[in-house]
Structure 1
Amino acid sequence: MTFHPQFVRTYLPLALLALVGYGQTCLADEDATREKGRQIYTSMCAECHGDKGEGVVGAYETPLIGDASLGELTHQITKTMPEGDAEACVGPDAEAVAAFMHYAFYSEAARIRNRPPQISLARLTGNQLRQSLADLYSHFHGSPGYTDDRGVKGVYFTGSRWKNENKKIERVDPTIDFDFGRESPGEGITKEDFFIHWNGSIIAEETGDYEIVVRSTVSFTMDFGKMGRTLIDNHVQSGDKTEFREVVRLTAGRAYPFKIDYIQRKRKTEQPPASISLSWVPPHGVEELIPQRNIIPWTVEPTYSLQTKLPPDDRSYGFERGIAVDRQWDDSTTAAAIEFGIVAADELWPHYSQRNKKIPEENRARLKAFLTEFIETAFRTKLSDETKQLYIDQQVAECPDDHEAIRRVVLMTLKSPRFLYPQADATDSLSQQVANRLSLTFYDSIPSDKWLLEKIQRDQLQNEQQIREAAWRMVNDFRTRGKTREMLHEWLNIGHFGEITKDEARFPGFEPELIADMRASLDQFLDDIVWSEKSDYRQLFTADWAYTTDRMAEFYGDQWKPEEAAKPEADKLPRGPGPQQLRKTAGGDAHRLGVLTHPYLMSGLAYTDASSPIHRGVFLIRYMLGRTLRPPNAAFSPLSPDLHPDLTTRERVSLQTSPESCQVCHSRINGLGFTLERFDAVGRFRDTERERQVNAQGTYTTRDGREVTFQNEQELAKFLAESDDAHRAFVSRAFQHFVKQPVAAYGPEKLDELTEKFKNSGYNIRALLVEIAVIAAMEPHNTKIAG
């Protein structure tokens, strides 16, 4: 459509003036409504809730804050305020009070406006301390680059020792799980007398205690973490002991080198049958053969994992923060520094000295060079002459023994605020500060990789393009993958499930091994989505395929049967205990909807004998959609199904939560939780309950006040994949986990900007992590510019 020039010159300015006038009128009306609401609130509400909704001791101490839309807030005021006389504030009065509260102090925008979040100075969290020490150790050896290769390398010899001319087989085995009996392990190898050398690196996907289990009927030795660091020594097989267990604490995203030397010696008596298996008991799991997906077929550089137990960090804001400085934290960091000091003296110093023989030993110059590099790496900066004098020269002069000097310097360094407070770097170069924040964001650690240190030295982290290039390199790293797995677990809140148990009479076969299968299935699915080429967040809800095992298929039926085409001949079930081999299912099942209907999630969000729409609704509100819920007024105990044997779960929950005081929250909770009612207490799909058709209809009111209805879980999954609320919640969760600061501290508009970039990237999760890291890394630049 086109307009005559005269029309444009004459009427368009008048139209614009009319629009401006209309806008000014609307603003004036909004101001008048809020003023009316302020007066009503002051006279009827402030006495119990405070002038700014902050709460009043002895009355309503919980602040009046939330994220309900204006319509929802108006409805709550109409139904519940003031207490005992709800009819006193209804209609236009309730609308006015809601408008005032929403603008003045209730909404997220109001809270940011009234008290802008700031980037808070924080110490290293427990996990950041653990990762930083691991990278401080790896700095002197090197960190492994990411690889997709998996398995364990095996070298097979005839004869009971390594002898090159007797080498018969060299191959990559999927796992270590062999029963040779009294036969030869391979062609050309004598069955009475052979030697096998396995080496590889084990990837830990979760931080925690792992029990390493080796079962062997003949002699063997196992080194772990570093060649020469013996974990199990059974060089001389004695007695009937065939099972060996050791507990080690491993760190997520780290690869730990190991080797096993397995020796069958010729005997005068009858040869014992030869067998060996390598298993572990991971955190939250059962004993299983260490899966092929967790083994790299070569030994990476030596790795260190702190064994000192660290206290939990504050999580009151939904993510770990290093804010508590108390006796427990101080004692644990001291113990960690002492532990690392021993390792530095016994392992790092000999390694450094051997590789730096060109540095003279006169006046202990080589030792001082080692300590200088150690402190500069830990402090993330070059040392001043004064610091060198205090931390190195003075300590070396007072300690004639090199090992004692190292332990003393390590203790001083690791207890220094310059190490424990990574943001205390304002006097460092911009490139150094940027590298510090990139490493904290992706690795929870210090800059230690040589390529990154070279960029600092060359001052090549000066602009956004350079930062973004470094971020893309860092996102594809074992450490980032470990941290991403932890973030997804927090997003799904599965870390709080504890032990999942079910009524044995109602659900026979729901055993720990099945639960371990389900957790492994979920983790493999998450990895596939995030690290695929598209890394598409939406597939977390729309994917109609999954990973399964024979045990899951037997329990859950055809929906969880593996796709036969995905079962190669080499893919055999393990002989040992624990989770079975994961295989991909066929696509096309309408009820298998990514994480949303995964049996591990559904069974975790249920009671022992029944589903729980309330648990599932709270999960969806808080975690999937990022909305707030106030704590319940009183302790809640579900009604027993036996009290109302004719009611479905939906009817029973509706009955118990029917009072108006409950409906303030349960109108939101139940409306979402009911949509997953076609999945029972163990996450098995069902059409009927108590011989009646399951009603899976539900509702949700968005942040902008739009009411959405769902007929079933399929419509809910589609909504979560496309919802602005869900996208915003995922972005916020990721930012808080990776940066450990509120996103609003980087600007009130940052969450909206990040969410929009996430959308424009095709919802690429890896691209989101890069954008988050760039924002955190640019903060020193922005501070300099602002100053």
Structure 2
Amino acid sequence: MPTQNVALGDDDAVRKKGEAIYQAACVECHGKAGEGVPEFYPDPLLGDATIGELTELIADTMPEEDPDTCVDDDAAAVSAYIHHAFYSEAAQVRNRPPRIRLARLTGEQLRQSLAGLYGSFDSSPWAEKSGGIKGIYFQGSRWDKKKIKLERTDPVIDFDFGHVGPSKEKGIDPSEFYIHWSGSLLANQTGRYEIIVRSTCSFVMDFGRDGREFVNNHVQSEGRTEFRQTLNLTGGRAYMFKIDFFQRKRKTEQPPATISLSWVPPGGVEEIVPASNLLPSWMPATLALQTKLPPDDRSYGYERGTAVNRQWDESTTNAAIEFSQYAISELWPHYERRHRKDSDENRARLRGFARELVSTAFRGKLSDAQQKVYIDHPIDQTPDDSEAIKTICLMALKSPRFLYPTLDFDQSESQRVANRLALVMYDSLPSDRWLQKLIEQNKLTTEKQISEAAWKMNGDFRLKAKTQAFLHEWLELTHSVDVSKDQKKFPGFDERIIADLRASLDAFLDDVVWSETSDYRELVNADWTITNERLAKFYGDKWIPADDHAVGLTRSVADTQTRMGVLSHPLLMANLSYHQTTSPIHRGVFLYRKTLGRTLRPPNAAFSPLNPDLHPKLTTRQRVSLQTDEVSCQVCHSKINTLGFALENFDPVGRFRITDNDQPVDASGSYVNRQGETTRFDGPRELAQYLATSSDAHRAFVDSCFEHFVKQPAAAYGADTLDRLTRQFQQDNFNIRQLIINIAVTVAKQTQASK
């Protein structure tokens, strides 16, 4: 049961007494408002410790030259004053209310916005269940409807037809046949992908748009059977592709017919492109920006578009030039064909194309003055259509109206709401046809209309990718994280296992978030995970599939003793460990900061763990306790260690253990919440149960979610925004998807209020 720490008085009289003591004894080192003094204590006095915790700290350590001079009621009075005046979160918001900061597009927002701008000239993408690619099998070596022998959805492209061919039963001659595969490839996350096609026969592959050639092996290269292309793909985007595969009759000996489609996803290893990333339909054509963009500022724990420098300026110019090339070669010809019956007097078609492009990029209708500057003048001064389009693209895509999406220029209320919804939900601009229609009809003015529009966005691949990126950020896991371990101590923990763990984690996150309940408590408290045969062999019986007949990634058997949802997943446990040993400190810091949303001051000096060889008989817990038992260390490690020790049942590769160095694992721990209540737990299950019900954990999750989706602090939308969203989250049975909707609606409504 929680126990209440003693919090001494904090009324006006006590705070007044504390102020007098602070001004007399503390100002010289900490500043008048706790801002810090460079030569003594440069860090400001900010945090979320309770008054009781501050009282204990002051009584034990302050002032440094004579700690015994400020104890008991004096220490309590000073802590009450500091907490109220400038230390606590409420005081920080009161003294310096956060504002919605002017921000440019982040790198991801730029990629998504340009993809949305490109896609606005086609139909809108739609949600579709993945599971394979459409294949049409012909007798003969060309497309002939009369010679179609077989149509089916192939789960993957990985075939060895040998000399037998696809199907003798369907009348397909193995010496001469043609297969047309078409569909879309879904990228789960933004990053660098290597696409690999291996084929013993001729083939041609288009990617991203019909006619955009990716690999041309129509005239088969002698002895060449492997083709690789590396490119950037944007998360949540589905890229249409087709493969035309030919087995032709030959006078010489015919090779066996084989073909496979593989990839190396960001941070992964080569694998056959799985069915979960294949769609049997052609999604609308899209753009995958290849321009290298500089990393965004992450000093606040989430990506912010704040840095404006030469590198960013050059990269946005290069991105605009790259987009203009696609606009000239693909968008403009497509637009011309659609409007070939329209009058072209005074280059009217080009002006219509440019108007559609620029108004979409600017997220609103153009004024007469903008029409003249961005469209009429470049076209009038440039007789060559391609050069005019390039100039228009550069002018529009370098404009603040495109690069600074939070600037509310002269736009209708529905337009501003749509802009915010698209930015929060998709990191993009409102290019979808159905959303444009709502703008035109001015049907985004009430909370009900805004909420309905946000729910219509729910389930879109772009939102799924952004949600997965948020959860990776919340877990401090990215595709570049190195979780390799000492192979002598952990044989078999290789790159293949690590790739499986990444796939397992992402599948688990998807299963929880996109289930009917979308329950946060399941995220941190589930007694199951996602496994496969290789993971079960490495991690043991608790990882065997629940269904004996399942193939590939599937749900594991339940385990109420050793499993605690995503927080005990081996990928996370391995990331929060050293090369040879666990790290209760890293695990404790993660739980305290990310999962529970608390603040810790930076360490006084660089921390190096004690070498286990110096204390060969100690467990990791005993070794960490020995190193951090000094009073100065315990200020933070009394909070960190007691959380990290609760995960000591998981070794450096995330396997459950009951002994460490031949001694029983002590996984007991505790936590003091924001209200000063102490909760004790013994082992990971009790910790999981606490995190599922902890208001601190709920608030931290909501805060992280808001910052990731909005790129602004929640308090900038009102001092009570975070608390209100947290209460709503709890009332909605911790539904993660509903939380995202509530955040999007909050931002859209703020846009209305700022009109």
Q: Bin the TM-score by the shorter chain.
A: over 0.9
Report whether the alignment pairs 1:700 with 2:681.
no
1:482 positional shift: 0.7
The structure 2 residue matched to 1:549, chosen from 516, 532, 547, is: 532
The structure 2 residue matched to 1:749, chosen from 720, 741, 748, is: 720
The structure 1 residue matched to 2:229, chosen from 246, 263, 271, is: 246
Aligned partner of 1:534 in structure 2 is 517
Aligned equivalents of 1:654 and 1:196: distance in 2? 65
2:181 aligned counterpart, secondary structure: strand
Report whether the alignment pairs 1:718 with 2:689.
yes
Q: How many residues align?
A: 747
> Mapping of 1:549-588 within 5 angstroms?
549-565=532-548, 567=550, 571=551, 581-588=552-559
> Mapping of 1:33-72 within 5 angstroms?
33-72=14-53
> Mapping of 1:334-373 within 5 angstroms?
334-373=317-356
Aligned equivalents of 1:270 and 1:540: distance in 2? 57
Aligned equivalents of 2:698 and 2:305: distance in 1? 27
1:248 aligned counterpart, secondary structure: strand
Aligned partner of 1:602 in structure 2 is 573
RMSD (CA atoms): 1.3
Aligned partner of 1:184 in structure 2 is 165
Conserved? CA contact 2:536–2:544, under 8 Å:
yes
1:30 positional shift: 0.9
Letter of the aligned partner of 2:563 in structure 1? R
Aligned partner of 1:735 in structure 2 is 706
Provide Cα deviations, 1:464-508, integer angstroms capped at 9, x if missing partner.
111111111112211111100100000101128622111111100
Out of 390-399 and 133-142, give the one that drifted further: 390-399
Aligned partner of 2:464 in structure 1 is 481
Report whether the alignment pairs 1:413 with 2:422.
no
Provide Cα deviations, 1:97-144, integer angstroms capped at 9, x if missing partner.
110110001110000000000111111111111100000000001222
Aligned partner of 2:3 in structure 1 is none
Aligned equivalents of 2:654 and 2:406: distance in 1? 45
1:146 positional shift: 0.6
Letter of the aligned partner of 1:446 in structure 2? L
> Mapping of 1:127-166 within 5 angstroms?
127-166=108-147
Letter of the aligned partner of 2:70 in structure 1? C
Aligned equivalents of 1:166 and 1:386: distance in 2? 58
Check 1:644–1:766 CA distance in 2 against 1; reply closer, same or farther (3 A cut): same
Letter of the aligned partner of 1:454 in structure 2? K
Aligned equivalents of 1:477 and 1:496: distance in 2? 22
The structure 1 residue matched to 2:506, chosen from 500, 515, 523, is: 523
1:566 positional shift: 5.1
Report whether the alignment pairs 1:613 with 2:613.
no
1:695 positional shift: 0.3
Aligned equivalents of 1:549 and 1:240: distance in 2? 36
Report whether the alignment pairs 1:119 with 2:90.
no
Report whether the alignment pairs 1:234 with 2:217.
yes
The structure 2 residue matched to 1:764, chosen from 735, 743, 754, is: 735
1:27 positional shift: 13
The structure 2 residue matched to 1:510, chosen from 487, 490, 493, is: 493
Provide Cα deviations, 1:393-449, integer angstroms capped at 9, x if missing partner.
111111111111001101000001111111222421111110110010001111101
Letter of the aligned partner of 1:711 in structure 2? D
Check 1:566–1:590 CA distance in 2 against 1; reply closer, same or farther (3 A cut): farther
Conserved? CA contact 2:8–2:52, under 8 Å:
no
The structure 1 residue matched to 2:256, chosen from 263, 269, 273, is: 273
Conserved? CA contact 1:566–1:583, under 8 Å:
no
Letter of the aligned partner of 1:241 in structure 2? R
Conserved? CA contact 2:10–2:77, under 8 Å:
no
1:309 positional shift: 0.6
1:460 aligned counterpart, secondary structure: coil
1:357 positional shift: 2.1
Aligned equivalents of 1:311 and 1:700: distance in 2? 39
Aligned partner of 1:286 in structure 2 is 269
Conserved? CA contact 1:566–1:584, under 8 Å:
no
1:88 positional shift: 1.7
1:588 positional shift: 3.7
Check 1:29–1:210 CA distance in 2 against 1; reply closer, same or farther (3 A cut): closer
TM-score, normalised to structure 2, is 0.98
Aligned equivalents of 1:243 and 1:58: distance in 2? 63
Aligned partner of 2:754 in structure 1 is 783
Aligned equivalents of 1:120 and 1:518: distance in 2? 38
Letter of the aligned partner of 1:611 in structure 2? T
Letter of the aligned partner of 2:446 in structure 1? N
Aligned equivalents of 2:150 and 2:534: distance in 1? 34
Letter of the aligned partner of 1:252 in structure 2? G
Aligned equivalents of 1:696 and 1:145: distance in 2? 48
Conserved? CA contact 2:165–2:257, under 8 Å:
no
Letter of the aligned partner of 1:604 in structure 2? N
Aligned partner of 1:576 in structure 2 is none
1:565 positional shift: 4.0
1:29 positional shift: 6.8
1:711 positional shift: 0.6
Letter of the aligned partner of 1:624 in structure 2? T
Conserved? CA contact 2:9–2:76, under 8 Å:
no
2:205 aligned counterpart, secondary structure: strand
Aligned partner of 2:12 in structure 1 is 31
1:432 aligned counterpart, secondary structure: helix
Aligned equivalents of 2:331 and 2:366: distance in 1? 20
Report whether the alignment pairs 1:444 with 2:433.
no
Aligned partner of 2:648 in structure 1 is 677
TM-score, normalised to structure 1, is 0.94
1:238 positional shift: 2.0
Letter of the aligned partner of 1:748 in structure 2? A
1:564 aligned counterpart, secondary structure: coil
Aligned equivalents of 2:420 and 2:563: distance in 1? 39
Report whether the alignment pairs 1:376 with 2:359.
yes
Aligned equivalents of 2:624 and 2:345: distance in 1? 80
The structure 1 residue matched to 2:62, chosen from 81, 99, 119, is: 81
Report runs of 4+ in structure 1 exceeding 4 Å deviation: 26-29
1:772 positional shift: 0.2
Provide Cα deviations, 1:204-261, integer angstroms capped at 9, x if missing partner.
1110110001111111111100011111111111222111100110001100001111
Out of 507-516 and 164-173, give the one that drifted further: 164-173
Letter of the aligned partner of 1:65 in structure 2? L
Report whether the alignment pairs 1:322 with 2:305.
yes
1:356 positional shift: 1.4
1:362 aligned counterpart, secondary structure: coil
Letter of the aligned partner of 1:662 in structure 2? C
Report whether the alignment pairs 1:104 with 2:75.
no
Aligned equivalents of 1:632 and 1:661: distance in 2? 10
Check 1:500–1:143 CA distance in 2 against 1; reply closer, same or farther (3 A cut): same
1:783 positional shift: 2.1
Check 1:566–1:118 CA distance in 2 against 1; reply closer, same or farther (3 A cut): farther
1:558 positional shift: 0.6
Report whether the alignment pairs 1:668 with 2:639.
yes
1:590 positional shift: 2.2
* Identity, % of aligned positions: 59
Aligned partner of 1:386 in structure 2 is 369
Aligned partner of 2:4 in structure 1 is none
Provide Cα deviations, 1:511-534, integer angstroms capped at 9, x if missing partner.
001000001000000001000001
Aligned equivalents of 2:638 and 2:210: distance in 1? 60
1:212 aligned counterpart, secondary structure: strand
**Structure 2: 5+ residue stretches without partners:** 1-6
1:469 aligned counterpart, secondary structure: helix
